[in-house]
A = this chain, B = another copy of it.
Amino acid sequence: MSHWDRDLNMVDRGAGEYDVDVSGGWNAGSRPNGGYLMALGVRAVTRVAARPDPLTVTCHFLRPAEVGPARLRVEPVRFGRTVATLQAALTQGGRERYRLIATVGDLTTSTGHTRSLRTAPDLPPPHRCAPAPATLAAGVRLPITDRVELRLVPPSVRPGQPVEAAGWFRMRDGREPDPSMLYLVVDAFTPVVFALGVGEWSPTLELTVHLRARPAPGWLRVVRRTGALTNGWFEEDAEVWDSADVLVAQARQFARLGAGAATR
């Protein structure tokens, strides 16, 4: 069993409640990766909904989560014919760490128009890109880099232009991508805004991920972009493309730039 599948394991307590053990394997410093945490909630939601595809999920991060036991509570909001909406909360020690709301469905039964409005990003091959460092500039260790192979295309920083960076993502143990992994993918790279030299850490307040297609096996490409940094608030957009040149996810987070000692 892959690290990812083992660390998404959960025990069904009935009535939409699940016990999970938050792994330290996807940490940045002492803090679990937000995308990994979100994947846990999405897993619980898709189980309760009995529908496979998280079409759009928004997570509001309330307090930092910790490695160790946690409880997930799923509340159905509406079950429709084609989609269902549910919310979920992750709690540790009686304190809610995040709340998410999700609309789920089944992409394989969707029919409708398709138009190719974009071309996949043209990146140098992974072996010609630099591996992600295992520590941040501030000295914070990134255990996630033991599990995930990240290959970086250097950020583009031009005055008056969005700051943008791209990269490659795959699991070191060969676990192929699926929708559950895309939350980790969009949150695994250090924020592109750091390339401006104005901060060292940044708590995410909210992260929304749209699933556009189930990813094909192989490397994933991620393009990230920040277009506005205003009084410390910024957005980061991420697009994920699979090895078949299909756009598989679009994400946007709202975050706050921090400076000084990193805690995550």
A101 within 8 A of B: yes
A235 within 8 A of B: yes
Question: Of B107, B205, B213, which is within 8 A of A55 by CB?
Answer: B205
- Mask, A86-112, CB within 8 Å of B = 1, is 010000000010010101000100111
A205–B102 CA distance with the chains assembled, in angstroms:
10
A92–B164 CA distance with the chains assembled, in angstroms:
44
CB-CB nearest in chain B for A77: B99
A112–B99 CA distance with the chains assembled, in angstroms:
26
Cβ contacts under 8 Å, A206 to chain B = 56, 58, 103, 208
Report whether B250 and A235 are in contact in the complex, using a CB–CB cutoff of 8 Å. Answer: yes
CB-CB nearest in chain B for A118: B227
User: In whole Å, how far is A93's beta carbon from the nearest beta carbon of chain B?
Assistant: 14
A125 within 8 A of B: no
A198 within 8 A of B: yes
Report whether B60 and A113 are in contact in the complex, using a CB–CB cutoff of 8 Å. Answer: no
User: In whole Å, how far is A66's beta carbon from the nearest beta carbon of chain B?
Assistant: 16
- Mask, A67-98, CB within 8 Å of B = 1, is 00000000001101001010100000000100
Q: Which of A17-25, A176-184, A252-260 contacts B (4 or more CB under 8 A)?
A: A252-260
User: In whole Å, how far is A61's beta carbon from the nearest beta carbon of chain B?
Assistant: 9
A196–B115 CA distance with the chains assembled, in angstroms:
9
A1 within 8 A of B: no
A250–B254 CA distance with the chains assembled, in angstroms:
10
13 further interface pairs, Cβ-Cβ under 8 Å (given A87-B101, A208-B208): A56-B254, A85-B99, A110-B233, A112-B256, A112-B257, A113-B229, A114-B229, A114-B231, A115-B229, A117-B160, A118-B162, A213-B230, A227-B250
